[in-house]
Amino acid sequence: MNWQLVLVLLTAIGALITAIFTANAADATRKAARGSALLSCLDKYVAIRKDRRKAIENRKRDLAEEYYREILDLHWNEYHLWLQGVIPDEIMFSWLQIRKRNFESDKIEVETDARGTITYQSQWQELKTTNYFEQNDPFVGFMDKTHSGQITHLADLKKIKKELMHEKL
């Protein structure tokens, strides 16, 4: 038997095994990063919800407005994580259904000279018109589609993601 051929075969087998282990390690790292990012988003959400409770209890306009800014900032971060593939489409879709419901009905009663209400919808409109988000930020159009009910199926979300990714190129 030709020892050189045996050595080449053993080297090829070793390279294949190394490639398999490397691919598995990369996949495990991706999954760990995804899990960490999702937990971070959920932790931030829980903290922000505590701010909402404080705004409701204190009935202060500034606390209510701060709560909505924080929740919309979180949505902005989640949107970018989703585009990067960190947040799976299925999870993002379920979160968007909650955002649409919140847009339609979420509100916090506040004390002012006269009794008032701060709503998710009014804060979204205010932040859009005061350029809180960058002008032409695709996030704004994405959230408008969410709020208006244009994302009703997972397929809608995947189509939008594909379009957004194509625009980035």
Phi-psi sector, 136: left (phi>0), alpha (psi -120 to 50), beta: left
Tell me the per-residue pLDDT of 35-84, one tens digit each, with 9 for 90 and over: 788 889 999 999 999 999 999 999 999 999 999 999 999 999 999 999 99
Question: What does the pLDDT average to over 100-122?
Answer: 88
pLDDT of residue 77: 95
For the chain, what is the mean pLDDT?
88
Distance CA 115, CA 110 (A): 6
Q: Is the pLDDT of residue 163 over 80?
A: yes
Q: Is the pLDDT of residue 26 over 90?
A: no
pLDDT of residue 52: 93
DSSP-based three-state secondary structure for 100: helix
The crossing angle, in degrees rounded to 10, of helices 89-105 and 120-129 is: 100
Residue 157: name the closest of 95, 107, 115 by CA.
95
DSSP assignments along 5-60, one per residue: HHHHHHHHHHHHHHHHHHHHHHHHHHHHHHHHHHHHHHHHHHHHHHHHHHHHHHT-
Task: For the chain, give every domain's residue range.
Answer: 3-168
Q: How confident is the model at residue 31 (pLDDT cuts 50, 70, 90)?
A: low
| Numbers of helices and strands, H then E, in the chain | 6, 2
Q: How confident is the model at residue 135 (pLDDT cuts 50, 70, 90)?
A: confident
Q: Is the pLDDT of residue 119 over 80?
A: yes
Cα of 115 vs its chain's centroid, Å: 34
Q: Which residue has the higher pLDDT, 93 or 29?
A: 93
